[in-house]
Amino acid sequence: VSGTREMHDQDAFKAGQRALWDASAAAWDKWHDELEAWFAPVNARLLDDADVGPGKRVLDLGTGYGEPALSAVARVGEEGEVVGIDLSQAMLEVARRRAGERANVTFTAGDVETMDLPSGFDAAVSRLGLMFVVDQVATLGAIRAALVPGGILALAAWGPADRHLISQGLAPLIESLDLPEPPADSPTPFSMSDPDRLTATLEAAGFVDVSITEIVVPVLYASTEAFVRFNLDALPSGLLTAIAEKYGAADSPEAWDLVAERVRPHLQPDGTLALPSLALCARAQNPAAGEALG
């Protein structure tokens, strides 16, 4: 019985994830240029760590609107190939549109946790996509099996919540809503935020030579109002409904003044709002052929 309940919980979680990311695809598309400016150092790190270069075959897990897949395409050239996988069809539609006529990239809908992954990749990358899987060791093991011997996984995940100034800024508003706690074991954006645990998880999945680098994502909004607009575009609809129910409207000044007050220390002299947030970039290797699994 408990197995059946776990299955239902997981199905419900995945359905929720799919709906959440489908609903936020338009916002990610709209804010693409800002997001890509912030995440440029993470993309560079992931593609360097994974040794993505001409002729390589690269798998991108949780590619969303197509990053870092599309940045990888520019590196692998016509002889290489990039495959992006995501749970959300709406995100993938944006990715496909952004890919345009490029022939060496394909985007496939699927749950990285349960699908049969294609194989034979030199590198796997993921930017903020793998924190949302339920069974990290099993999923990372399947990703390892999709790599050639000696192939590299480079993934980025958010670091600890207290170093994530975006969510710190939202905290007083979210806390004021008295929302029910999600189940303790359900994945969150911070499910890979402990470097020691992430290292142990990658090793348990059979990877070797694991290293983790901290990168501060230089999140910068044009103003506090821009931060509010971003959240009104991108927050899950359930959260916006809860704000509307408590404050009369999702964009209620009373609600967002709580946020403006919290982020005020991060306002820059030119009026921009800097909310630097820590990401962990992990690099791990599939053992080379003949290398003993430790």
Ligand X SMILES: C[S@@+](CC[C@H](N)C(=O)[O-])C[C@H]1O[C@@H](n2cnc3c(N)ncnc32)[C@H](O)[C@@H]1O
C-alpha dihedral, 180 to 182 to 184 to 187, nearest 10°: -160
Alpha-carbon distance of 283 to 274, in angstroms, equals 28
Residue with smaller CB distance to ligand X, 142 or 255: 142
Rule CB under 6 A: say whether 43 interacts with ligand X: no
Binding window for ligand X (CB under 6 A); candidates: 116-124, 126-134, 190-198, 219-227: 126-134
Longest dimension (CA), the chain: 64
Contact indicator for 50, 152 with CB cutoff of 8 Å:
yes
Structure tokens at 277: 């947030």
10 Å CB burial of residue 278 (0-12, 13-18, 19+) is middle
Q: How far is the CB of 79 from ligand X (least distance, A)?
A: 24
List the one residue from 47, 91, 94, 202 that touches ligand X (CB under 6 A).
91
Rule CB under 6 A: say whether 122 interacts with ligand X: no
> Helices 89-99 and 69-76 meet at what angle, rounded to 10?
30
> In this structure, which amino acid lies at residue 253?
P
Show the binding pattern over residues 56-75: x = contacts ligand X (CB under 6 A), - = does not: ------xxxx-x--------
Rule CB under 6 A: say whether 112 interacts with ligand X: yes
Structure tokens at 271: 């009026």
Rule CB under 6 A: say whether 133 interacts with ligand X: yes
Q: How far is the CB of 9 from ligand X (least distance, A)?
A: 15
Rule CB under 6 A: say whether 284 interacts with ligand X: no
Chain residue at closest Cβ approach to ligand X: 64
Rule CB under 6 A: say whether 151 interacts with ligand X: no
Contact residues toward ligand X (CB under 6 A) are 17, 21, 62-65, 67, 85-88, 91, 111-113, 127-129, 132-133
